[in-house]
Structure 1
């Protein structure tokens, strides 16, 4: 059973327990009320008390939606009716004891439950007034039996109980609001990450399509068969680009994505092999993968960020180093760090601003720094261009 289903089951169980308790208190009220009923007036008042108790049960028993306006309005009506009955009994008794025995324990329990439910689920503008009115109605119930100090004390005790019920409802309401804010924050962060991923995927695939189209134009007359192969690769890359774009844009558009929607980036270090194979299919410079250490059990954010680093390095090599003869991808794991390097041997002059121009490296830098890592891009000591990233493992696990 999932968490919402389990929570709903517990709520139903609590409702059944509360309903059973109210039923027992109602039987107690009926027994002593019938014995103490004085003529038709006493029987009528007993029926009114039973009706108010049933109305209270019908009000708090259903599962109300959060922010309900009908709930506090109905609670105000119920509280007003209960207070009116109490005031009528006190005025009629005129210092005497019109009712003997119980003042309506089932009604008391029902009103306390109404206070809790209103504080938990009622609309914010009306709920405080409704909770206060229902609490006052519960506190005034003992006065139906008499105005002696003992009944005043019982009234104060019920007022304290109403305050406790309101506090419990407010606590659960605050906890639920905190969970909703946390979920909304996670979704916002995830949508921002998907937006960065969308740029990475589209830039990578579109760059490959452009390179293949340029190559096909140059070899069209000498080797038509290679043009057909290039067109097939362009078609495949275009299909992957559209699929990635539809999937990610769909998630970005839907803030209430279903629970089974992917809430993590789509690729990690385990997918570096296919990434390099796709690069080698369309690039003149072969890419070689060098792995030092096991890559199993990496934190998800580290694995996906390492994949994005390699993707950005390959995309930039394809764009800015057409004369490169080889690209080396190094992935090394230490006890505390994952080190990623993408180095090419291109001789085309490049400067850090030109290489870092655009949103790819900017977004990648934000991603790596958010994990507590570092990223640099610049000319290599032996020539070419080097993209280095260090990703901490310990901090990522703590996150």
Structure 2
């Protein structure tokens, strides 16, 4: 294993790293590329090109160190020729065992600790096995086996003293070599874990961005749906009421028929224009009302709404106690306008002929209060389709604006809608 790979800064996207998986260790590549994960039967992921290069390099390092050790053991006067030959044979077998280091890192490391007691030639293979253990296994394995490998160093040089260096020096050098190998392996493992953590962070960031985009789209769709309901329901209710009047009173005076037809024509024209604006917003990617041709209504347009309802035949009493409607924040005024619009629409549908009272009051710091009330209808109520979604939308609007809304039956049997909105 080599710990010289540069850590990506900033981290590359997971998809890019997956395409470069040939340059990653198989254990890391399997995390980035699911196709490299464990195959059927629980077998290990296939080796990458980097794995093969590293394995050959580790085998070559073990062989080179083994050859140096074999030369030194052959020249050591403290070791007999028979023991030197056995040492070299054990070292050759230890180098061959390097190819098993990925499959059994713990077992190979333990075996190399025992082999190192009998063979100086196996020193390179023992170091590679110890490094592999530190890279592939948690510290609880490295601590025990690494401590054991350091503990046997004095026994190794006691059994086969070095011919040139003092005993204490050789022991110190052996301990430093083992500690350096363990530290290097743990460093490589920590960098791999950092790489995987950066990959997980990138994936989580992508998922969170996707969720935020989906949530924004959902909120935008809900907002547009509420806007379409609030805008079109008012117009279409006028169409339904006056068309129903023409249907049930075909013998009405000509003036009433002409007026009802005019209201129907005007309402249809306004509904088409409002629908065109909403579709324009959808096509324009969520641009505001001013960019789409007409500004969004505010509290200053409330009198126009009441006048429009009166022109359609409704009895509406407006009590406007706000001295300067233009001073009301645009978002608060727009919410109040929609609440009044929905209240008038419901009164027209469910209490035709009843006089509707609209009360608006408030001041900065106190908040804006809006009340829409109507008594019971004076006669039979024609069947007008409705789903009750308008009141749900009003509640959401008021909540998003930081206010509150209450609606329900009044004491006299009519209906009321009371709202309070913040006005800082």
Instruction: Please give the range of the TM-score, normalised by the shorter of the 2 chains.
Output: 0.5 to 0.7
Matched, 1:375 2:375: no
Structure-1 separation of matches of 2:301 and 2:203: 44
- Aligned CA distance change for structure 1 residues 361 and 385 (closer, same or farther; 3 Å): same
- Aligned CA distance change for structure 1 residues 325 and 148 (closer, same or farther; 3 Å): closer
**What SS does the aligned partner of 1:192 have?**
helix
The Cα offsets for residues 43-72 of structure 1, whole Å up to 9 and x where unpaired, read as xxxxxx9xx98xx99x999975x7x3x742
Matched, 1:88 2:56: yes
Structure-2 separation of matches of 1:324 and 1:207: 16
Matched, 1:281 2:281: no
Residue from 189, 192, 197 that aligns with 2:222: 192
- Aligned CA distance change for structure 1 residues 193 and 169 (closer, same or farther; 3 Å): same
What's the offset of the Cα at 1:313? 1.2
Matched, 1:307 2:337: yes
What's the offset of the Cα at 1:369? 5.7
Residue from 243, 266, 271 that aligns with 2:276: 243
**What SS does the aligned partner of 1:317 have?**
helix
What's the offset of the Cα at 1:310? 0.7
What's the offset of the Cα at 1:285? 1.9
Structure-1 separation of matches of 2:316 and 2:265: 20
Structure-1 separation of matches of 2:64 and 2:318: 98
- Aligned CA distance change for structure 1 residues 343 and 390 (closer, same or farther; 3 Å): same
- Aligned CA distance change for structure 1 residues 218 and 282 (closer, same or farther; 3 Å): farther
Give RMSD over aligned pairs: 4.8
- Aligned CA distance change for structure 1 residues 189 and 378 (closer, same or farther; 3 Å): same
Alignment of 1:163-178 (within 5 A): 163-178=193-208
What's the offset of the Cα at 1:259? 6.3
Superposition TM-score, scaled by structure 1 size: 0.53
**What SS does the aligned partner of 1:292 have?**
coil
- Aligned CA distance change for structure 1 residues 172 and 259 (closer, same or farther; 3 Å): farther
- Aligned CA distance change for structure 1 residues 223 and 168 (closer, same or farther; 3 Å): closer
- 8 Å Cα contact 1:205/1:237 also seen in 2: yes
Residue from 254, 263, 274 that aligns with 1:230: 263
Structure-2 separation of matches of 1:346 and 1:184: 44
Match of 1:74 in 2: 20
- Aligned CA distance change for structure 1 residues 270 and 350 (closer, same or farther; 3 Å): farther
Superposition TM-score, scaled by structure 2 size: 0.51
**What SS does the aligned partner of 2:64 have?**
coil
- Aligned CA distance change for structure 1 residues 183 and 350 (closer, same or farther; 3 Å): farther
Which structure has the larger Rg? 2
Matched, 1:348 2:378: yes
- Aligned CA distance change for structure 1 residues 155 and 232 (closer, same or farther; 3 Å): same
Unpaired runs of 5+ residues, structure 1, are 1-48, 99-135, 141-146, 252-256, 395-399
Match of 2:234 in 1: 204
- Aligned CA distance change for structure 1 residues 299 and 163 (closer, same or farther; 3 Å): farther
**What SS does the aligned partner of 2:311 have?**
helix
- 8 Å Cα contact 2:230/2:390 also seen in 1: yes
Structure-1 separation of matches of 2:322 and 2:253: 42
Structure-1 separation of matches of 2:299 and 2:251: 35
Match of 2:360 in 1: 330
- Aligned CA distance change for structure 1 residues 94 and 168 (closer, same or farther; 3 Å): closer
- 8 Å Cα contact 2:376/2:414 also seen in 1: yes
What's the offset of the Cα at 1:373? 1.8
What's the offset of the Cα at 1:314? 0.7
Structure-2 separation of matches of 1:97 and 1:336: 86
Alignment of 1:380-391 (within 5 A): 385-391=415-421
Aligned residues: 283
- 8 Å Cα contact 2:356/2:372 also seen in 1: no
Match of 1:133 in 2: none
- 8 Å Cα contact 1:331/1:340 also seen in 2: yes
Matched, 1:156 2:203: no
**What SS does the aligned partner of 2:231 have?**
helix
Matched, 1:319 2:349: yes
The Cα offsets for residues 98-119 of structure 1, whole Å up to 9 and x where unpaired, read as 9xxxxxxxxxxxxxxxxxxxxx
**What SS does the aligned partner of 1:342 have?**
strand
The Cα offsets for residues 248-301 of structure 1, whole Å up to 9 and x where unpaired, read as 8x58xxxxx946578xx965535434433432332342453514366646484x
What's the offset of the Cα at 1:379? 3.3
